[in-house]
Chain A
Amino acid sequence: MFGAVLIANRGEIAVRIVRALREMKIRSIAVFSDADRGALHVRLADEAEHIGPAASAESYLRVDRILEAAKKHGAQAIHPGYGFLSENAGFAAACADAGIVFIGPSAESIQRLGSKTAARILAKQAGAPVVPGSEDPATNVEQARKLALEIGYPVLLKAAAGGGGKGVRRVNEERELESAIRDAASEAERAFHNSEIYLEKFIEKPRHIEIQIAGDHYGNLVHLGERECSLQRRYQKIVEECPSPFVARHQEMRTAMGEAALKVARAAAYDNLGTVEFLADSQGNFYFLEVNTRLQVEHPVTELVTGYDLVQLQLRIAAGEALPFTQKDVRWRGWAMECRVCAEDPDQQFLPSPGTIAQLREPSGPGVRLDSGVYPGWTVPLEYDALLAKLVTWGPDRNTAIQRLRRALAEYSITGIQTNISFFLDILDDPEFLAGDISTAFIPDFLARRKPPTKPAPGLDLAVALAALTHFQKARESATIASNADAGRWLSEGRGRLLR
Chain B
Amino acid sequence: MKWQIAVDGRTIDVDSGQLDAVTQVEPGVYSVLLDGASYEIRVNESSEGLSVETCGRRFTVEVRDPRDTSRGARTSIGSGRQKIAAPMPGKVVRVLVSVGDSVDVGQGLVVVEAMKMQNEMKASRPGRVVEVRAMAGGTVGAGDTLVVLE
Q: Footprint of A on B, CB under 8 Å?
A: 3, 5, 7, 10, 12, 14, 18-19, 21-22, 24, 26-30, 32, 34-35, 37, 39-45, 47, 49-59, 61-65, 68, 71, 87-90, 114-119
- Whether the pair B26, A460 counts as a contact (CB closer than 8 A) is no
Q: Is the interface of B mostly helix, strand, loop or mixed?
A: strand
- Knowing A453-B57, A494-B45, A499-B68, say if A466 contacts B88 (CB, 8 Å): no
A382 CA to B7 CA, complexed, in Å? 30
Q: Is A343 an interface residue (CB 8 A)?
A: yes
User: Would you call A364 an interface residue if the criterion is a C-beta within 8 Å of the partner chain's C-beta atoms?
Assistant: no
Given A456-B57, A461-B7, A351 contacting B29 (CB threshold 8 A):
no
Interface contact B32-A467, CB-CB below 8 Å: yes
- In the bound complex, how far is the Cα of B27 from the Cα of A498, in angstroms? 18
Q: Write out the residue numbers on chain B whose beta carbons fall within 8 Å of the beta carbon of A131.
A: none
Q: Does A448 contact B (CB under 8 A)?
A: no
Q: Does A410 contact B (CB under 8 A)?
A: yes
Contact of A460 among B5, B29, B39, B44 (CB under 8 A): B39
What are the residues of chain B within 8 A of A466 when measuring CB–CB? 14, 18-19, 21-22, 30, 32, 34
CA gap between A259 and B7 in the complex, in Å: 58
Q: How far is the CA of A421 from the CA of B61 in the complex (A)?
A: 21
A residues neighboring B (CB under 8 Å): 166, 183, 187, 191, 234, 343-344, 347-349, 351-355, 358-359, 382-386, 409-410, 413, 415-416, 418, 421-422, 425, 453, 456, 459-475, 494, 497-500
Contacts of B49 in A (CB 8 A): 497-498, 500
Q: Give the CA-CA distance A234 to B118 in the complex, in Å.
A: 11
Among B35, B40, B65, contact of A459 (Cβ-Cβ < 8 Å): B35
**Would A498 and B63 count as touching, CB distance under 8 A?**
yes
**A497 CA to B45 CA, complexed, in Å:** 9
- 24 of the cross-chain contacts (CB-CB < 8 Å) are A183-B118, A351-B114, A382-B114, A382-B115, A413-B40, A415-B44, A459-B34, A459-B37, A463-B39, A465-B12, A466-B18, A466-B22, A466-B30, A470-B22, A471-B28, A471-B43, A474-B24, A497-B45, A498-B49, A499-B63, A499-B64, A499-B65, A500-B62, A500-B71
Minimum-distance CB pairs A-B, first 9: A467-B41, A352-B115, A467-B30, A471-B43, A465-B12, A465-B5, A468-B61, A463-B32, A463-B39
